[in-house]
Structure 1
């Protein structure tokens, strides 16, 4: 838990690592109970701060993310024109991206590889297209060729210079429909995970690219239920072989 793994991730990883009847097996509910029922005295209360929400109780998280500066982007290729391999995740190298907004006009760019859920977090100076383009080109240009097939972005004017991104990275760029966050569900979900490190109404200006890389590394080394409790880093490395 000090590595910010959730109780479900811990229980799933244990299930993957030990025999079914091993005394090491534990359910995620047992971990939660040991955190919240302090009379058990099993886990230190300080571990609660490592839960994603930081709340003393669990509750459903509603997606309230809204985009900004929606407009018509010149020569934007719609999401419906993407190859089927992007939707079914059968081929690696297709990414989804968005801006995560903080206070004081601050922001970061997040990009997620759809097959592995491997995440990169990119520092951008502003929401202007020039800044976002520079950040994405810097963050994505060094990827292996097999991992630079496409990028799907929210329909915001911050990626109005999408042709420059395509030219620098070799990636085809597609745009989701306006007000349709479910079309980029993987990225939306990843951004919710990242809110543990970047709570709403806090500024992101204090984070350097080195800081963001460390946070991305931590997220990429947390096991995911959807990956059979492999980590995104493990799945990503397997795709590169």
Structure 2
């Protein structure tokens, strides 16, 4: 059993998944290499009044108790820096990364959860800092209880991905995802990590066969050096990923279960595309030309 450490957000993600699946505290403790008392204490302190355990709510309750966002309340210069960057369109993740890199002399590093806590803290809501976020939500939505899903067969973990992919040293490393709009009509989005090129296509549904077929049709037009690998989340639409290996000699990687944030490039891209493709949008009324115009607009938008 590991020496005592505070539970991380990843630990809380796993607790939420195991809890939703109905596992006992002892089984959860073994899976996380923690003592049963640690898991019991976490559920007692941070579960919702209904008894349901949500990662985001639990993390928020912990952060509130620790008063980590008080760092910004006590440091006026740091708080103003955060406000200014938010007003310029920076995401909390970008602000946290910039500070962590030591790019601002005299300002301490912050984690993104501290910044989100500052934005949504009751005393800060009068400022409406949430208006600067891409999704502009007045409140942070709690994560829904999720059922563990069966892993996709023959998947390779993102943790086996070479460091050159993570550091974006070479071209040809893609990420794939779906944007779901009205009537469950998805838009397939493909994002290249190094040049940050985005491609997209409409789908009629979420069938694995159609998804794989459209991806192959797009990538067949690219030089093999420009399509070496692709990273997906665990959506069943990507079940036929092995076709990309066999037909196009591409390597496929998969995020951990319920950890789509591990492919951050395309997640950020999806957030921007939602400005033109909101959830209530009817894809049936969107022509292929309209979609490509949206994608071109995004590709021509300067990145931070």
| Shorter-chain TM-score above 0.5 | yes
Specify whether residues 8 and 140 from structure 1 end up closer, same or farther in structure 2 by C-alpha distance, changes over 3 A only: farther
Match of 1:188 in 2: 267
1:58 maps to 2:131: yes
Distance (Å, rounded) in 1 between the aligned partners of 2:156 and 2:167: 19
| Alpha-carbon shift at residue 190 of structure 1 (Å) | 0.1
1:121 maps to 2:200: yes
1:101 maps to 2:101: no
Specify whether residues 171 and 132 from structure 1 end up closer, same or farther in structure 2 by C-alpha distance, changes over 3 A only: same
Match of 2:211 in 1: 132
Q: How many residues get paired? A: 173
Match of 2:255 in 1: 176
| Alpha-carbon shift at residue 76 of structure 1 (Å) | 0.8
Distance (Å, rounded) in 2 between the aligned partners of 1:96 and 1:209: 21
Match of 1:74 in 2: 153
Residues 182, 281 of structure 2: 8 Å contact kept:
yes
Specify whether residues 221 and 69 from structure 1 end up closer, same or farther in structure 2 by C-alpha distance, changes over 3 A only: farther
Residues 71, 155 of structure 1: 8 Å contact kept:
no
Q: Give the helix-richer structure, 1 or 2.
A: 2
Residues 68, 156 of structure 1: 8 Å contact kept:
no
Specify whether residues 198 and 191 from structure 1 end up closer, same or farther in structure 2 by C-alpha distance, changes over 3 A only: same
Deviations along 1:33-72, whole A, 9 cap, x unmatched?
Answer: xxxxxxxxxxxxxxxxxxxxxxxx9332469799999432
Match of 1:201 in 2: 280
The structure whose Rg is larger is 2
Residues 134, 272 of structure 2: 8 Å contact kept:
no
Match of 1:155 in 2: 234
| Alpha-carbon shift at residue 168 of structure 1 (Å) | 3.1
Specify whether residues 210 and 140 from structure 1 end up closer, same or farther in structure 2 by C-alpha distance, changes over 3 A only: farther
RMSD value over aligned CA atoms? 2.7
Q: Which moved more, 1:116-125 or 1:69-78?
A: 69-78
Distance (Å, rounded) in 2 between the aligned partners of 1:222 and 1:154: 26
Normalising by structure 2, what TM-score?
A: 0.52
Match of 1:88 in 2: 167
Q: What are structure 2's unaligned runs of at least 5 residues?
A: 1-86, 90-129
Specify whether residues 69 and 93 from structure 1 end up closer, same or farther in structure 2 by C-alpha distance, changes over 3 A only: farther
Distance (Å, rounded) in 2 between the aligned partners of 1:69 and 1:114: 29
Match of 1:164 in 2: 243
Moved beyond 3 Å, runs of 4+: 61-70
Residues 168, 193 of structure 2: 8 Å contact kept:
yes
Deviations along 1:208-232, whole A, 9 cap, x unmatched?
Answer: 333322221111111111xxxxxxx
Distance (Å, rounded) in 1 between the aligned partners of 2:247 and 2:260: 26
Distance (Å, rounded) in 1 between the aligned partners of 2:222 and 2:147: 28
Where relative contact order (Cα < 8 A, 6+ residues apart) is larger, the structure is 1
* SS in structure 2 at match of 1:115: coil
Residues 141, 168 of structure 1: 8 Å contact kept:
no
